[in-house]
Amino acid sequence: MTLNGKVALITGGGSGIGRATVHRFARAGAKVAVADIDRASAQDVVAEVDAGGHAGAATAVEVDVSDFSQVEAAVQRTVDVFGRLDVIFNNAGIAGGKALLDHDPAVDYEPMIRVDQHGVYYGILAAARQFVRQQTPGVIVSTSSIYGEQAAELAFTYSAAKAAVISFTRSAAYELAQYGIRCVAITPGRVGTPIINQFSDELRSTFAAEQLRNKLTEPEEIADVVTFLASEESRVINGTVVHVDDGYSVFKQRLGALPAF
């Protein structure tokens, strides 16, 4: 599995799944624009890539994905530095939750929709336009969630935004196939990112028990899948949702000792 000669833009590249994917792409031979709202985090990841034996393979780009002009600028910066764009990984997102009846729309709805939903739309649009300008194929991978396909506690807005990512992916794949552009969504389950690792051991254990291996997924495991999806080896995967949830979606809860039937 190789990405030799490919250029990628990864949003949310300063931490978690994004950071792991930057490293995985660099090892696969890609050049990577590490895009994050926290420029210092993005620069730290670039330094890690350089120190890991891939000097010059990454560059830092500051971007607020909720602002289309900034997403366009991030795409252009990638092209300016590396000469082209072949892959975008729309991964930047925020989490959080509150019971619906306690919502303040300005706090509990609008910010998450701007980042998790609008940010993906902007990335799809900006990258697709660049691919067409280049007259080259391209790959668009976007991070949805298991919550994008089901209801969950305290996740009214998050689930809606992640469901939109799935719909965006299907529609974009349909419209953009004529240009040789593939679009795929991934649905992570419980991943050991800084967002989850801040919680108590008890809550993290509960999250782990919701997956078939009874453990949290590592960001690097998601990065392996994204690398495959960005590669030519996955050329027949288009317009679909790839579950990277370690079986979260196939069962409700562990029963322990089974009752008599």
SS in 3 state form for the chain? CCCCCCEEEEECCCCHHHHHHHHHHHHCCCEEEEEECCHHHHHHHHHHHHHCCCCCCEEEEECCCCCHHHHHHHHHHHHHHHCCCCEEEECCCCCCCCCHHHCCHHHHHHHHHHHHHHHHHHHHHHHHHHHHHHCCCEEEEEECCHHHHCCCCCCHHHHHHHHHHHHHHHHHHHHHHHHCEEEEEEEECCECCHHHHCCCHHHHHHHHHCCCCCCCECHHHHHHHHHHHHCHHHCCCCCCEEEECCCHHHCCCCCCCCCCC
Catalytic residue positions, numbered: 158
